[in-house]
Amino acid sequence: MNLVLFGPPGAGKGTQAQSVCVEYGLVHLSTGNLFRAHISNETPLGKEVKSILDAGELVPDSIVLNMVKEELQKPAFQKGVVFDGFPRTVAQAEGLQDVMKEVNTSIDAFIMLDVPNDVLVQRLLSRGEGRSDDTEKKIQHRLDVYQKETTPVKGYYESKGTVYSILGIGTIEEVFSRIQSVIDSL
């Protein structure tokens, strides 16, 4: 089973992806975690990504797709994957579809976490990750970039009939229960 957990920054994708992976035996693939690992290890990719993220922009599709393709070739991903923070553009979604075809699989569900903007801003300001882009001004810029560049990805998956919208507010357990309902119905 291959799932995309989708939503704006602060929607809870990472938290929910971890729960889904434990419950269903899938592997969590977070582009954000991959980027943070590269940044932490000060790889050339990490330095490039850090400057892009510090400006509040999205990492170019070609960089993200190559990184994801490399990860998906690892044996652990054969059981299934929960994508978190990817795809973020229609070009990435199309590229992901091509990569998935290469390994004879596809996306089973695109689960959208719907969260109001004011809740997102509060979550991002209080999450304590120490990200250099977690200021109110930069958070709003990231949400604006998300609306402009990332929201069309939902339309891409709607055309494939795989979109399920979930209310992303409430306790972690309440949101997870909503996600489980979708997965169990597949």
**Which pTM does this prediction carry?**
0.83
Give catalytic status of residue 36 as yes or no. Answer: no
CA distance 142 to 144: 5
| Residue among 82, 87, 78, 29 at smallest CA distance from 58 | 87
Catalytic residue among 50, 131, 138, 178: 131
Catalytic residue among 47, 74, 79, 127: 127
Task: Give 126-182 pLDDT, tens digit per residue.
Answer: 875 555 656 788 888 888 888 888 889 999 999 999 999 999 999 999 999 999 999
Q: How many angstroms separate the Cα of 40 from the Cα of each of 37, 45, 49, 115, 127?
A: 5, 11, 11, 30, 19
Q: Check residue 41 and give its pLDDT.
A: 94
Domain regions of the chain by residue span: 2-184
Q: What topology is assigned to 2-184 in CATH?
A: Rossmann fold (3.40.50)
- Give the number of other CB atoms < 10 A from CB of residue 57: 14
Give catalytic status of residue 131 as yes or no. Answer: yes
CA distance 102 to 106: 10
Instruction: Outline where DSSP puts E strands in 15-169.
Output: 27-30, 81-84, 109-114, 163-167
Q: Check residue 158 and give its pLDDT.
A: 94
Give catalytic status of residue 123 as yes or no. Answer: no
CA distance 108 to 146: 23
